[in-house]
Structure 1
Amino acid sequence: METRHQHIDRVIETAQSPTAAARSPLAASWRRSIERHGLDPAAVRPVERVDDSALSQRREALDRFLRVAGPKIDQLFGLVGNSGCGVVLTDENGIVLDQRCAAADAAIFQDWGLWSGADWSEAAEGTNGIGTCLTEKRQVTIHRDEHFFLRNIGMSCMDAPIFGPDGTLLGALDVSSARADQTEGFNRLIAATVAQTARAIEADVFRAVFPKARIVTAENEDAALLAIDSHDLVIGATRGARRAFGLEPSGDLKPRPASDLFGREDEARGFEKAERAAVLRALARAEGNVSEAARALGIGRATLYRRMKRLGIGE
């Protein structure tokens, strides 16, 4: 491992290089830490923390997110906890909302500042797994002396962002370890598990937000889920689905027919297409009973027969 002065000098020299930031995401983060956030890699101040009242407010605002994520965090900790790793969940600002670690490691994680209420944003801690993941909105691993602050270079941090049902950033999922024998190869295995768990949390939160919708999963490794209502309109999409289908990147989703996304077009257009879909749904729910389907549509049996003929729907 680098000496104290070697690390500090390397961070400063790299951050000041006119070309390093363009070649390396790590160098770009070090540069942000110094130029944008005004941080000093040699600083020894403790990790900043929000007070209990502010933490409670943040947790309350994200109550559903935390309830849904809890079981997945437990599962992840069950996989990595025996190897000296801790699991951390933050909000979109890098504030730790929840964490898991072995009882024997609790004092160590508290000393590092990986505890509820701690601020691990890049603005507060410089380059680190949580903050850099949130800033760049992508999966990252910050291994030991890739950290900005000298006091953090004993840690390895594997992180993945978690996006909400509206495509906006919800928080970050982190696994951190200070084991001296933890290799970069082992980090890659953990990082893959972290990313998989983050996508599973996204999917569960999405389903919780659209409990009555039909959920369709696209063949995409990035949690691409669509919520489709009873009228076959797409009313929700995860970030992965928004990217896959070219939808609004975040915020409210403009409802559109599911067939428009899936490419299943027929000769019917406009109101005729909608009418045909309505008749087919009514017939399906009535198990083919035309009289019952007509009553459900609020029309007479003879009228329904005429519409079926016009729409090309056989008995």
Structure 2
Amino acid sequence: MTQRSHADLVAEQSRSPRATSALAASWRRSMLKHGLDPADRRRPDRLTAAELAERHQAMAAFLHVAGPQIDQLYNLVGLSGCNVLLTDAQGVVLDQRVSDGDAAQFRDWGLWRGADWSEAAQGTNGIGTCLVEGRQVTIHRDEHFHTRNTAMSCMDAPIWGPDGRLLAALDVSSARADQTERYNRLIGAQVAQTARAIEALFFRSSFPQARIVVASDDHADQAVLLAVDKDDLAIGATRAARRVLGLEREGSLRPRPAADLLGRQGDLQGFDRGERAAVVRALARADGNVSAAARALGIGRATMYRRMARLGISENHG
């Protein structure tokens, strides 16, 4: 497809009210909302070294967690001429893995650290469109808005932060002319899996004193995790867990009893449930020795037995 014919097709589809696909919607945003020209051949803008360093600093903890996962992904796809990129929520490339042999090509395209690949700046592309739509996308060759980007295929997945807000995009871009859509799907699946792994690892590292609970087994393709504190209160939830459990979509989580959220209340209510948990923990720490558990709780042995009977705890519970 020639430069002009691709630009004409994008312009036609962008203005057509009959074009209702997700791709056409992205082209329309690029042209009508952001005022971009599909024939524009300018390279992406890049941040200064100082600006990039500032963004790195702001995302330092996240980048530390993500780095080993990016290495693993690159080990899987790097030899096939792929460039692995990690951006922030604004589409600026913060980290990258690429072979020396492919570096010149990707640098020429602008797929490099510090480059702005937001949809507002570059039109339809894997990184920018993934971030706008908050979902996994593949933009294959002439699906890109700009004609100069039609030699690449880009597979992307979003990464959500512990606060439920969009945090980053993980991208694998290929320079291979023979890249097939079937191969794109295979890479896309690996990108999505790596993005979920990074999201889960960063969530865990964000609540170092909490225990992490899988909130649902019905969503194996998502990180459905709760962070629960020592008082059995849920103090954090991943984006998927927030949606599954009907919690705040984003921002700080109002602490709630984890048992209430997970449907494990049992017959006891309120303080009785908390008291039972405290007694059971004391018995477990004392290896079932009632006298030792009572001393640990600061109560007498007789009182301990009365509480155990009321709470339905057998003497050999420990």
| Counterparts of residues 154-303 of structure 1 (less than 5 Å) | 154-217=151-214, 218-219=216-217, 220=219, 221-303=221-303
In the aligned structure 2, how far is the partner of 1:297 from the partner of 1:253? 31
Does the alignment pair 1:35 with 2:32?
yes
Pick from 130, 150, 156: which aligns with 1:133? Answer: 130
SS of aligned partner of 1:182? coil
Cα drift, residue 30 of structure 1: 0.5
Match of 1:13 in 2: 12
In the aligned structure 1, how far is the partner of 2:10 from the partner of 2:273? 62
296-305 vs 104-113, greater mean Cα deviation: 296-305
Amino acid at match of 1:273: R
Cα drift, residue 288 of structure 1: 1.4
Cα drift, residue 140 of structure 1: 0.2
Does the alignment pair 1:94 with 2:91?
yes
The one-character-per-residue Cα deviations of 1:155-206 (angstroms, maximum 9, x if unpaired) are 1000000011111111100000121100001000000000000000001111
In the aligned structure 1, how far is the partner of 2:279 from the partner of 2:49? 57
Pick from 125, 140, 144: which aligns with 1:147? Answer: 144
In the aligned structure 1, how far is the partner of 2:33 from the partner of 2:286? 64
- Runs of 4+ off more than 6 Å: none
Cα drift, residue 32 of structure 1: 0.5
Amino acid at match of 2:234: V
The TM-score normalised by the length of structure 1 is: 0.96
237-246 vs 35-44, greater mean Cα deviation: 237-246
SS of aligned partner of 2:260? helix
The one-character-per-residue Cα deviations of 1:202-258 (angstroms, maximum 9, x if unpaired) are 011111112222222232221111222222221211112112222212111122122
Match of 2:42 in 1: 45
Identify unmatched segments of 5+ residues in structure 2.
Answer: none
SS of aligned partner of 1:98? strand
Amino acid at match of 2:12: E
In the aligned structure 2, how far is the partner of 1:18 from the partner of 1:94? 29
Amino acid at match of 1:262: L
The TM-score normalised by the length of structure 2 is: 0.95
Amino acid at match of 1:163: W
10-19 vs 131-140, greater mean Cα deviation: 10-19
SS of aligned partner of 1:160? strand
In the aligned structure 1, how far is the partner of 2:180 from the partner of 2:267? 59
Match of 2:312 in 1: 312
SS of aligned partner of 2:302? helix
In the aligned structure 2, how far is the partner of 1:134 from the partner of 1:179? 24
The one-character-per-residue Cα deviations of 1:110-160 (angstroms, maximum 9, x if unpaired) are 111111100000010000000000000000000000000111011100000
SS of aligned partner of 2:96? strand
The one-character-per-residue Cα deviations of 1:65-93 (angstroms, maximum 9, x if unpaired) are 10110011000000101100010000000
Matched residue count: 312
In the aligned structure 1, how far is the partner of 2:125 from the partner of 2:270? 52
Pick from 53, 56, 61: which aligns with 2:58? Answer: 61
SS of aligned partner of 1:13? helix
SS of aligned partner of 1:166? coil
In the aligned structure 1, how far is the partner of 2:106 from the partner of 2:295? 65
Cα drift, residue 107 of structure 1: 1.0
In the aligned structure 1, how far is the partner of 2:293 from the partner of 2:231? 16
In the aligned structure 2, how far is the partner of 1:177 from the partner of 1:6? 23
Amino acid at match of 1:229: D
Identify unmatched segments of 5+ residues in structure 1.
Answer: none
In the aligned structure 2, how far is the partner of 1:298 from the partner of 1:58? 52
SS of aligned partner of 2:284? helix
Percent sequence identity over aligned pairs: 67
Amino acid at match of 1:134: L
